[in-house]
Amino acid sequence: QKEVEQDPGPLSVPEGAIVSLNCTYSNSAFQYFMWYRQYSRKGPELLMYTYSSGNKEDGRFTAQVDKSSKYISLFIRDSQPSDSATYLCAMSTGRRALTFGSGTRLQVQP
Amino acid sequence: EAGVAQSPRYKIIEKRQSVAFWCNPISGHATLYWYQQILGQGPKLLIQFQNNGVVDDSQLPKDRFSAERLKGVDSTLKIQPAKLEDSAVYLCASGEGRGRVIGYTFGSGTRLTVV
């Protein structure tokens, strides 16, 4: 079993839709939870960061962490064609480097 | 702030050949990471440096992969000999320090194709 599981998609939505992206994990020691966005032929860039449980909002993006269920989510409101990318969840215990999910490819149709 | 620089951007080699990738991290960043990203998968850590010392190389295939970080700045990742399954994007990232798992900055990567 992989430490971090993520549905690869692809996920196709119309412009303006609310997008929900999710990851599950098995390592209960994970404390740091991140979402990265990766455009084609580019390196991942940090989108959202959450420590431990709870919600965090930044503009159109909301990250949620439910440690009791070992489940994290990223919501994108009013999705735009420029949001089309691969979204990677990533986690760490704080002592080791990030462990990434496999990524979900998102396509927002104009 | 300049980003993480990687070269070359693309490389095509035949199996059993050797190849080297170069990374220049953000100035002042003590931690440097090499990740391997196979098509359709997330990045997988190969090696982590803190200054010029190795922190974690548990997932580095040491029979064919090697990496060094001279003087705690630039780093080189080498594969010798390459196998078909080494075809991937090799990403370099740098961070401010060992305990700060946020603030990773990735380079654009080197896309390796082994034929």
Q: Which stretches in chain B have pLDDT values below 70?
A: 1, 97-103
| Tens-place pLDDT, residues A51-65 | 888 899 999 999 999
Q: Report the chain B residue with the minimal C-alpha distance to residue A49.
A: B102
Position B1 scores a pLDDT of: 61
- Say yes or no for a CB contact (<8 Å) between B93 and A96: no
Q: How far apart are CA B15 and CA B33, in angstroms?
A: 25
pLDDT at B100: 59
Q: Strands of A61-66's sheet, edge to edge?
A: A4-6, A19-25, A71-76, A61-66, A54-58
Tens of pLDDT, residues A68-79: 999 999 999 999
- The per-residue pLDDT for B52 is 83
Residue of A nearest to B55 (CA): A96
Read off the pLDDT of each residue in A32-45 and give the average, rounded to a whole number. Answer: 94
- What confidence score (pLDDT) does residue A96 get? 79
Selected for mutation to probe chain A from B36, B101, B102 (highest A CB count within 10 Å) is B101
Does residue A8 belong to the interface with chain B, where contact is any CB pair within 8 Å?
Answer: yes
Contact B41 A103 (CB under 8 A): yes
Of the candidates B43, B103, B108, which has its C-beta nearest A100's C-beta? B43
